[in-house]
Structure 1
């Protein structure tokens, strides 16, 4: 599919690293005027160095509703908004502290909710959440992540009705090789990737660009709304 985003204003919340940065890179390559938002100015500066002079960056903490409202106040409407910002903690429900659980919900669900509530998006433009395949394929150690992802996907379907004719969708990745796993030792990380790849029908781990392709597909497909596109290498059926 030919992707042409020339003359469009494209915002990626969480666009300074990982999947968000891959989305921003792909959107910029398709001609969009890209803005990335992140809590970290250092990460913004690093990401902008590779995005080119047409890209801009702004600091934003999505868990702070007042900051989110101020971010969007008075500005022009966006053509496309993608929300990829999240910091989550794994662990079983009975061992994960409530403060960690609340922080996960604040970051991934309520942060996205704040942006969806405040963002100005032009008619027939798009809003896209990044969820995760644990919404439909839970594991005993990622129960909360699965619940948060399922909530985001339900939110996208409801908002597709409430915000129409703005289009609202979600992309649900499986295991993606990003800096999220940098806290693991290289040996453990490579072993996890290899073990997972053996079980997946595609026989490999996902890359951020795989997810970015799906996000741009939804942005550029005017008949797509209320959809969740799963990009998991077959993880939900393996």
Structure 2
């Protein structure tokens, strides 16, 4: 398949669905050979069973040995995208240390170790794309741990952009995206939350995984872009 990622290889780390799925399919449709990796390899294999040019792999971002093993199984790579997260929501008095550590391990330390072990296998015109989130730029009570994790991910992207140059490293910062993660609120509460956010942000709607995947493709293919955080949040921090 021809496209801006023709004959390139892309590793997408994340869940079997949502944004990770949208990114994997968009990269494949742009011509790439895609490796989708996550803690539950079988779920990924089942999800992509009917998809050409998308293979499933296992990796646990909280385990450096698992990351090292993944690196040893992979050949050369062009691009790495880490969408994984483990949110620790709640007010300060309700936050558990283990939950905050898991958030950092998944979204900051894990991607750092991916860069450590995978960058030597990457072509020098390739890229890393990390994930932040709107909580880093719009501070609200109840998202303290999410905000500081996202802020650290953005600093990591800038730091790696210098250390790994000319490999490019950027972060993508989604706002409220309808990935299914909000389904736990229940249909009525979810619909009300989405209506409130969509009425207030300048885009006047909720984001989709496709919106985020397009931004990731831009980060992978824009060869003069590095050390940046790209917001795809409908302008939510302005409100």
Q: Could you state the TM-score of these two structures normalised by the residue count of structure 1? A: 0.95
Deviation at residue 15 of structure 1 after TM alignment: 5.3
Offset from partner CA, 1:164-221 (integer Å, 9 cap, x none): 0100000000000012112221111111001110101111000011011010001011
Partner residue in 1 for 2:43:
43
Quick one: distance in 2 between partners of 1:26 and 1:201? 26
The CA deviation at 1:9 is 0.4
Provide the secondary structure at the position in 2 that maps to 1:45.
helix
Q: Tell me what 2:160 maps to.
A: 159
**How many angstroms apart in 1 are the aligned matches of 2:185 and 2:110?**
26
Contact 2:173 2:229 in 1 (8 A): yes
Residues 45 and 95 of structure 1, relative CA distance in 2, 3 Å threshold: same
Question: Against the structure 1 CA distance between its residues 7 and 203, is the aligned structure 2 distance closer, same or farther, given a 3 Å change threshold?
Answer: same
Instruction: Kindly report structure 1 stretches of 4+ aligned residues shifted beyond 4 Å.
Output: none
State the alpha-carbon separation in 2 of the partners of residues 200 and 113 from structure 1.
32
Determine the C-alpha separation between the residues in 2 that align with 1:43 and 1:179.
16
Asked if structure 1 preserves the Cα contact closer than 8 Å seen for 2:85 and 2:106, the reply is yes
Query: Cα RMSD (Å) of the superposition?
Result: 1.5
Shift of 1:49: 2.8
Change (3 A) 1:44 1:74: closer
Whether the 8 Å CA contact 1:124–1:165 is kept in 2: the answer is yes
- Where do 1:191-230 residues align within 5 Å? 191-230=192-231
Give, in angstroms, the shift of residue 118 of structure 1.
Answer: 1.3
CA offset digits 1:43-76 (Å, max 9, x no partner): 20232135x1221000111110111011102632
Task: Decide whether the 8 Å contact of 2:130 with 2:172 is kept in 1.
Answer: yes
TM-aligned CA deviation for residue 41 of structure 1: 2.8
Q: Quick check: 2:19–2:213 contact (8 Å CA) kept in 1?
A: yes
**In terms of mean alpha carbon deviation, does 10-19 or 208-217 score higher?**
10-19
Cα deviation, 1:22-45, whole Å, max 9, x if unaligned, reads 100100111100110011134202
Match of 2:101 in 1: 102
Unaligned stretches of 5+ residues in structure 1: none
The number of residues matched between the two structures is 236
Moved more, 206-215 or 176-185: 176-185
Distance in 1 between the 2:18 and 2:86 partners? 12
**Shift of the alpha carbon at 1:110?**
1.7
Counterpart mapping for 1:121-160 below 5 A? 121-160=122-161
Counterparts of 1:75 and 1:185, CA distance in 2: 40
Structure-2 residue corresponding to 1:89: 88
User: Is residue 88–residue 107 contact of structure 1 (8 Å, CA) maintained in 2?
Assistant: no
- CA positional deviation for 1:121: 1.9
Q: What's the offset of the Cα at 1:77?
A: 2.2
Q: Which has the larger displacement, 95-104 or 196-205?
A: 95-104
Partner of 1:114: 113
Q: TM-score, normalised by structure 2?
A: 0.94
Give me the whole-angstrom Cα distance separating, in 1, the residues matched to 2:139 and 2:49. Answer: 37
| CA–CA distance in structure 2, aligned partners of residues 87 and 204 of structure 1 | 25
Where does residue 233 of structure 1 map in the other structure? Answer: 234
Structure 1 contact 63–114 (Cα < 8 Å) conserved = no
